[in-house]
Chain A
Amino acid sequence: MLDPITFGLMIGAFLFCTGLLIVIIKKNAIFVMIGIELMLNGANVNLVVFSASDPNIQGELMGIFVVVLAAAESVVALAIMLNIYRHFQTLDLNSLNKLKH
Chain B
Amino acid sequence: MTEGWMYFFGLLIFVSGLTLIFTKNLIYAVFLLASCLLSISGFYAIYNASFLAVIQILIYAGGNLILLAFGIMLTNRSPEGKVIVGHHLLFFGVSIILSMALVVYALLDSPTILAQEFYQTTGQVREIGKRFLTQYILAFELVAFLLLVVLVGASYLGKKSQHA
Contact = CB atoms under 8 A, between A and B. Distances in A.
Interface of A: 1, 3-11, 13-15, 17-18, 20-22, 24-31, 33-34, 37-38, 41, 44-45, 48-49, 51-57, 60-61, 63-65, 67-72, 74-76, 78-83, 85-87, 89-92, 94
Contacts of A10: 104, 107
Given A4-B6, A14-B14, A81-B71, A52 B84 contact: no
B112 to A, nearest CB: 11
> Which label, helix, strand, loop or mixed, suits the secondary structure of the B interface?
helix
B21 A53 contact: no
A8 B164 CA distance: 48
Contact of B82 (A27, A41, A82): A27
A38 B36 contact: yes
Nearest to B41: A41
Given A26-B81, A28-B79, A48-B52, A87 B20 contact: no
A46 to B, nearest CB: 11
Contacts of A68: 59, 143, 146-147
B49 A83 contact: no
A7 B4 CA distance: 12
Interface string B112-132: 010111110100100110011
A54 B119 contact: yes
Nearest to A59: B49
B52 A60 contact: yes
B154 to A, nearest CB: 5
Given A53-B117, A79-B154, A30 B43 contact: no
A65 B154 CA distance: 20
Contacts of A14: 13-14, 17, 100
22 contacts: A6-B107, A7-B7, A7-B10, A17-B96, A18-B17, A18-B21, A27-B83, A30-B68, A30-B75, A31-B81, A37-B60, A38-B20, A48-B49, A57-B121, A57-B131, A63-B52, A64-B128, A78-B68, A78-B70, A79-B153, A79-B157, A91-B78
Contact of B26 (A7, A31, A45, A63): A31
B162 interface: no
A15 B13 contact: yes
